[in-house]
Amino acid sequence: MATTAALVFAGKSVATPAISFIVNKAFSYLSEWHQAEGMKVVKDRLLQMLNQIQAVYDAVDHQQINEQSHALDKWLWQFRDAVEGAEDVLDEIDYYKLEEEAGVHNLELEVCNSVAKNFKQNFVRKVAKYTSEGNMVKNLRMALTRLDETAAGVGTFLHLTSRFGSALLPDHAEKINQETSSTLVATEIFGRDTEKNEVMRWLVDNIEGDSNTPGINRVPVSAIIGMGGIGKTTLAQIVCEELRDLTYFDCIVWVHVSDNSFNAARITKNILEALTKQKPNADTLEALQHILKENLESKKFLLILDDVWEDSNWGEWQKLMAPFQNSPHNGSRILLTTRMTSVADMVTSVMQSNNNYMNLNGLDEYHNFMMFKKYAFYGMKTEDYEHLLPLAEKIAKKFQGCPLVTKIASEHLRSNVSHHHWNNLYRQLENLEGKMSAIITTVLQSSYHHLPEHLQLCFRYCSIFPKGYEFKKDEIVKMWMGSGLILIDSGTERPEDIGERYLVQLARKSFFTFATVGDPCSKFYAEYYVMHDLLHKLACSVSVGECLRLESSGYMQHKCTVRHLWIANFNKLTTEEIKAISSFENLRSLIIEDSYHVNDVCIAALEEVVQLLRGLRLLSLKGITKFCLAKEVVNKHLRYISFSGMQDIDGISKLYHLQVLTAVKRISTALKQVNNIENLSHLRYVSYGSNGFGEFFVGRLTSLQELHNFEIQLKEGYRISSLRNLSSICKLQICNLENVGTHEEIIEAKLRDKSYLRSLSLNWSETTNVLKNDDDLILDKLESHSHLENLEISGYNELRKCRSWAYLPALGNLQRLKHLELHKLAELKRIDQSSGNSLPPNLKTLAVEGCKKLGELPLLPSSLTRLEVNDVGLTTLPRIYDHHVNNMDFESKETKLISVIISNCSNLISLEESFLLQEHHIRSLRILRIVDCEKLIRAPLLFSEMDNLAEFHIGKCYRLRVRENDDNVLLPRTLKELSMVQCGDLQLPLLESLVGLTNLTSLSLCNCSRVRSLPQSDVFRSLRSLREMAVADCTSLASLGGLGALSYLNWLEITECPRLQGYARYDEVDEDPVLEFSLEVYSLWIHAPDMLQREPLRRLHNTKCLIISVGRDNIPWQWMQQNRTSLETLEILKPEISEVQDVSPYCVQDPVRRQFY
DSSP line for 833-863: GGGTSB--TT--EEEEEEETT----PBEETT
Mean pLDDT of 399-405: 83
pLDDT at 557: 60
Least confident of 34-38, 449-453, 847-851: 34-38
Do the beta carbons of residue 633 and residue 655 sit within 8 Å? Answer: yes
pLDDT tens, 215-253?
456 788 999 999 888 889 889 989 988 887 776 787 899
Q: Is the pLDDT of residue 355 over 70?
A: yes
Do the beta carbons of residue 1062 and residue 1085 sit within 8 Å? Answer: no
Q: Report DSSP state, residue 876.
A: B
Share of the chain above pLDDT 90, in %: 33
Residue 337 pLDDT class (50, 70, 90 cuts): very high
pLDDT at 834: 52
Beta strand spans in 688-831 (E): 706-711, 731-735, 759-763, 790-794, 807-808, 819-823, 830-831
Residue 1145 pLDDT class (50, 70, 90 cuts): very low
pLDDT at 430: 56
DSSP alpha helix (H) spans, 301-387: 314-325, 341-351, 365-376, 382-385
Beta-carbon contacts of residue 842 (< 8 Å; ≥ 6 apart): 815, 816, 817, 818, 861, 863
Strand partners of residue 360:
none
Residue 629 pLDDT class (50, 70, 90 cuts): confident
Beta-carbon contacts of residue 381 (< 8 Å; ≥ 6 apart): none
Q: So what's the architecture of 193-359 in CATH?
A: 3-Layer(aba) Sandwich (3.40)
Identify the residue with better confidence: 790 or 1067: 790
Residue 1 pLDDT class (50, 70, 90 cuts): very low
Integer CA distances (angstroms), 770 to 711, 736, 767, 827, in order: 16, 11, 7, 17
Do the beta carbons of residue 392 and residue 419 sit within 8 Å? Answer: no
Identify the residue with better confidence: 415 or 876: 876
H or E stretch covering 900: strand 899-903
Mean pLDDT of 90-114: 71
Is residue 1089 reached through a cis peptide bond, with omega within 30 degrees of 0 on the bond before it? no
Separation CA 166–CA 173 (nearest Å): 8
pLDDT tens, 167-215?
333 333 333 345 666 666 566 788 899 999 999 999 987 665 554 444 4
pLDDT at 1156: 30
Strand partners of residue 792:
761, 821
pLDDT at 120: 56
The residue type at 792: E
pLDDT at 975: 94
Mean pLDDT of 117-144: 64
- Are the folds of 193-359 and 454-543 the same? no
Do the beta carbons of residue 934 and residue 907 sit within 8 Å? Answer: no
pLDDT at 565: 95
- What three-state secondary structure class fits 176? coil
Do the beta carbons of residue 517 and residue 528 sit within 8 Å? Answer: yes
Vertex 995 angle, CA 992 and 997, to 5°: 120
Mean pLDDT of 711-735: 89
Q: Report DSSP state, residue 938.
A: B
The residue type at 1096: P
Integer CA distances (angstroms), 1157 to 117, 520, 930, 1049, 1153, in order: 66, 19, 11, 20, 12
Mean pLDDT of 951-978: 85
Integer CA distances (angstroms), 222 to 182, 237, 238, 789, in order: 16, 14, 15, 32
Q: Is the pLDDT of residue 388 over 50?
A: yes
Residue 83 pLDDT class (50, 70, 90 cuts): confident
pLDDT at 134: 46
Mean pLDDT of 344-366: 90
Interstrand relation of 513-517 and 526-530 (parallel, antiparallel or unpaired): antiparallel
Mean pLDDT of 1052-1060: 94
Beta-carbon contacts of residue 379 (< 8 Å; ≥ 6 apart): none
pLDDT tens, 808-845?
766 767 889 999 999 988 888 887 655 455 788 889 99
Beta-carbon contacts of residue 76 (< 8 Å; ≥ 6 apart): 7, 8, 11, 12, 60
Mean pLDDT of 425-429: 68
The residue type at 236: A
Do the beta carbons of residue 265 and residue 253 sit within 8 Å? Answer: no
The candidate with the shortest Cα–Cα distance to 855, out of 881, 831, 822, is: 831
C-beta atoms surrounding 347 within 10 Å: 23
The residue type at 1157: Y
Separation CA 919–CA 927 (nearest Å): 16
Beta-carbon contacts of residue 380 (< 8 Å; ≥ 6 apart): 417
Least confident of 488-492, 540-544, 1081-1085: 488-492
Mean pLDDT score of the chain: 80
Interstrand relation of 1002-1006 and 1028-1032 (parallel, antiparallel or unpaired): parallel
Mean pLDDT of 46-63: 75
pLDDT at 167: 39
Separation CA 250–CA 505 (nearest Å): 37
pLDDT tens, 968-988?
578 999 999 999 999 998 999
pLDDT at 684: 94
- What three-state secondary structure class fits 1107? strand
In this structure, which long-range contacts are made by residues 44-52, counting pairs with CB atoms below 8 Å and at least 24 apart in sequence?
45/148, 45/151, 45/152, 46/19, 46/144, 46/147, 46/148, 46/151, 47/20, 47/23, 49/151, 49/152, 49/154, 50/16, 50/19, 50/20, 52/154, 52/155, 52/158
Burial state string for 299-313 with b = 16 or more CB within 10 A and e = fewer than 16: ebbbbbbbbbbbbee
Do the beta carbons of residue 622 and residue 606 sit within 8 Å? Answer: no
Mean pLDDT of 879-896: 57
Q: Is the pLDDT of residue 112 over 60?
A: no
Separation CA 841–CA 818 (nearest Å): 9
pLDDT at 335: 96
Look at domain 454-543 and name its CATH class.
Answer: mainly alpha
- What three-state secondary structure class fits 1080? strand
Q: Is the pLDDT of residue 259 over 70?
A: no
Do the beta carbons of residue 813 and residue 835 sit within 8 Å? Answer: yes
Domain residue spans of the chain? 2-172, 193-359, 365-432, 454-543, 1020-1157
Q: Is the pLDDT of residue 525 over 70?
A: yes
Do the beta carbons of residue 92 and residue 614 sit within 8 Å? Answer: no
pLDDT tens, 499-509?
999 999 898 77
What is the sign of the dihedral through the CA atoms of 213, 215, 216 and 217? positive
pLDDT tens, 638-666?
999 998 766 666 678 889 999 998 876 54
Separation CA 33–CA 14 (nearest Å): 28
Region of 357 (left: φ > 0; alpha: ψ -120 to 50; beta: rest) is beta
Biggest alpha carbon–alpha carbon distance for the chain: 111
DSSP 53-76: HHHHHHHHHTT---SSHHHHHHHH
* Cβ neighbourhood burial of 894 (10 Å; 0-12, 13-18, 19+): exposed
Residue 328 pLDDT class (50, 70, 90 cuts): low
* Cβ neighbourhood burial of 399 (10 Å; 0-12, 13-18, 19+): buried
Separation CA 192–CA 88 (nearest Å): 53
Residue 114 pLDDT class (50, 70, 90 cuts): low
Do the beta carbons of residue 427 and residue 433 sit within 8 Å? Answer: no
Beta strand spans in 603-650 (E): 618-621, 627-628, 640-643, 646-648
Mean pLDDT of 80-102: 86
C-beta atoms surrounding 1041 within 10 Å: 23
Vertex 512 angle, CA 510 and 516, to 5°: 120
